[in-house]
Structure 1
Amino acid sequence: MATDFRYRRLGYLVLQVSGIAQTTKFMIDVIGLDFVDETKEGGRFFRSGPSHHDVLLIPAATPAFVRSSWELETDDDLERAFSHYAKLGLSPKWVPDIEAQALSLEKAFRVVEPVVHTEFEYYSKMTYISSPLQNRLTGFQGGKHFGLAVPDPRMHTEYLVKNMGFLTSDYLEGWPGALLRAFPNPNHHSYGALGGKAGFHHFAFMVNTIDDIGRLMNRAQKLGVTPHFGIGRHPTSGSIHFYVYDNDFFVWEYTLGMEQFPEQGAREARRMSARPEDFDLWGAVPDVVGASKRPPFLTYG
């Protein structure tokens, strides 16, 4: 890993949605997030903890993944990251102050990784909200991760590890996918590079108890929300999981019990079985019909 900056966590995702009112209701009534604020353009912010937002939804004709945003540990890390990407020839660009202010960020830049051409945003300070969450449906632990389905998971993974400060925690034999952590964040993974039809794969929130997952299952059933995968347990991270679709076929996950990695002396990445019977420790099978409708990710450059 040839980077000199340190990640704190996955900050937030930006998603285009086709029905902002319907997805807002889903965010609040199913996922259990707090609505925070609305942009002048009609985008909506949602949070699961004290940071201003974990999700920004943008109304659009076509649903799509727009970008991921990553919180670094310090202002110095932010400056080092900018210099690092400039030296790689990736032409990072600072976010204009007025836009950063609208995003409740003190300072941020964006860069496009050159393998699948998705946009990464970096910042070190987001507005902290001291008032407690109003939505009491779920107890959120604070960690998050997401996955994209990409044409070549191995090539994408190798670039992220060599150039962008990620480490591989596990990969599947034959390279249909890999799970990566944003060093030195201890969570088993903050990002999944997964195979299959290219597009947005899922966005996950770590929750406090198995009760949170059980309540989501029953809530989804009562509200007519379609499940995607689970309840099950991943053989990689060890997490208990449950995934559901929203109205645009974005997939949202609750996850509990993820493996934690020490900063020093962490185990090597495992080559995991890709056999269908080894895909889930409890025998859960993901839905493939809805997955074929997954929204695309926007590409840049």
Structure 2
Amino acid sequence: MINLWDIRYVRLGTPDVEAATRYACDVVGLELGRREGKAAYFRSDDRDHTLVYFEGDPQDHTIGFELRSMEELQAAASALDAAHIEVRAGTADECARRAVGAYVNFRDPNGSSIDLVVRPHHGGTRHWPSHDAGITGFSHIGLCSANPVRDETFWTQTLGAKVSDRIGTAPLLRIDEVHHKIALFPSQRVGVQHINHQVESVDDIMRAWYRLQKAGVRIVFGPGRHPTSGAMFLYFEGPDGMVYEYSSGVRLITPEQEPGYLPRQFPMADSSFCMWGSKPDIAEFKV
């Protein structure tokens, strides 16, 4: 079984890199780390980058996950090949663009593009955000899934994720102690459904709510609190229809504190997404 160590980055195609850059800096509050050709790299913590916007198809998404060693990467490539999943090793130039020592790419059963990377670069300097949104780091992604039951099997049995909770057929998956780093939501689309950044406190969420409304940014869910992870949240719309989320207070599931933890089953209902009463204007969250 492949053991994912951490989520590392998201790469998004866009027809307008300049507009996406302004959004990432002025709205989300990320640091523009650098530009390379027709791509912009953004930092949210001490990693070299956690988000890239590149000139391309806005449906072209790739999610990067870190493995511990080259030996694990080679074993992962062999395991995927044995499972009849096409695997491609990154070239030296592609590794340089991703700021990693090596990587392989494949597609999950729903067609989402996944990188497995080793020796990803760290920033080397302190993260300096474009404005104080309270961001502490990139934390998780929602993925689209035409068949969440099928895809849950792949992510748990092949990639070693564990189910923390389910909402309807949508599993919330952890790869470490954090309640979830991946969530699979029913959708006929392929790729990333939303991108989450953690912020320090509920104060940052509420400040963002007022700030985003004043700036005319469309808020699609929240403020609210998830009954699954316990996190307080705010979702808002970004370039090319991508949804971004701020959240704070996510639950940790540790063997010491919760031995023998079993996933809870929540119904596909508004109350399963928010315990405060907010109703989502997000297609994949709607009942």
TM-score, reference length from structure 1: 0.87
Which of 8, 16, 19 is the equivalent residue of 2:13?
A: 16
How far apart are the structure 2 equivalents of 1:262 and 1:81? 25
How far apart are the structure 1 equivalents of 2:103 and 2:149? 29
- The alpha-carbon deviation at position 234 of structure 1 amounts to 0.6
Which of 174, 181, 196 is the equivalent residue of 1:181?
A: 174
| Paired AA for residue 111 in structure 1 | F
- The alpha-carbon deviation at position 263 of structure 1 amounts to 5.1
Which of 130, 147, 150 is the equivalent residue of 1:152?
A: 147
1:268 pairs with 2:262: yes
SS, match of residue 241 in structure 2: coil
1:114-153 → structure 2 map (5 Å cutoff): 115-135=109-129, 136-153=131-148
1:194 pairs with 2:213: no
How far apart are the structure 2 equivalents of 1:266 and 1:139? 34
Task: Please tell me the root mean square deviation across aligned C-alpha atoms, in Å.
Answer: 1.9
- The alpha-carbon deviation at position 164 of structure 1 amounts to 1.6
SS, match of residue 110 in structure 1: strand
How far apart are the structure 1 equivalents of 2:71 and 2:231? 33
Query: Structure 1's 71 and 263: CA in aligned 2 closer, same or farther, altered over 3 A?
Result: farther
1:103 pairs with 2:88: no
- The alpha-carbon deviation at position 188 of structure 1 amounts to 0.8
1:49 pairs with 2:42: no
How far apart are the structure 2 equivalents of 1:213 and 1:65? 29
Specify the alignment match of 1:204 in structure 2: 196
- The alpha-carbon deviation at position 10 of structure 1 amounts to 0.8
Query: Structure 1's 277 and 138: CA in aligned 2 closer, same or farther, altered over 3 A?
Result: closer
How far apart are the structure 2 equivalents of 1:217 and 1:266? 38
Q: Which moved more, 1:273-282 or 1:203-212?
A: 273-282
1:280-299 → structure 2 map (5 Å cutoff): 280-288=274-282, 291=283
Which of 49, 68, 72 is the equivalent residue of 1:73?
A: 68
Q: Which moved more, 1:271-280 or 1:9-18?
A: 271-280
SS, match of residue 64 in structure 1: coil
- Report percent identity of matched pairs: 23
| Paired AA for residue 194 in structure 1 | F
Contact 1:142–1:207 at 8 Å: present in 2 too?
Answer: yes
Specify the alignment match of 1:296 in structure 2: none
How far apart are the structure 2 equivalents of 1:35 and 1:207? 18
How far apart are the structure 2 equivalents of 1:59 and 1:263? 43
Query: Structure 1's 198 and 243: CA in aligned 2 closer, same or farther, altered over 3 A?
Result: same
Query: Structure 1's 57 and 266: CA in aligned 2 closer, same or farther, altered over 3 A?
Result: farther
Contact 1:9–1:143 at 8 Å: present in 2 too?
Answer: no
How far apart are the structure 2 equivalents of 1:15 and 1:125? 21
SS, match of residue 213 in structure 1: helix
Query: Structure 1's 227 and 266: CA in aligned 2 closer, same or farther, altered over 3 A?
Result: farther
TM-score, reference length from structure 2: 0.91
Which of 192, 206, 217 is the equivalent residue of 1:214?
A: 206
| Paired AA for residue 154 in structure 2 | Y
- The alpha-carbon deviation at position 107 of structure 1 amounts to 1.0
- The alpha-carbon deviation at position 126 of structure 1 amounts to 1.4
Contact 1:148–1:198 at 8 Å: present in 2 too?
Answer: no
Query: Structure 1's 16 and 139: CA in aligned 2 closer, same or farther, altered over 3 A?
Result: same
| Paired AA for residue 56 in structure 1 | V
How far apart are the structure 1 equivalents of 2:60 and 2:280? 21
SS, match of residue 8 in structure 2: strand
Query: Which blocks of at least 5 consecutive residues in structure 2 are unaligned?
Result: none
Which of 209, 220, 237 is the equivalent residue of 1:228?
A: 220
How far apart are the structure 2 equivalents of 1:127 and 1:186? 23
How far apart are the structure 2 equivalents of 1:57 and 1:263? 37
- The alpha-carbon deviation at position 277 of structure 1 amounts to 3.7
- The alpha-carbon deviation at position 150 of structure 1 amounts to 1.8
Q: Count how many residue pairs are aligned between Structure 1 and Structure 2.
A: 280
1:43-98 deviations in whole A, cap 9, x for unaligned? 111110111110111123x4224211101233332232222212222232210112
Q: Which moved more, 1:198-207 or 1:71-80?
A: 71-80
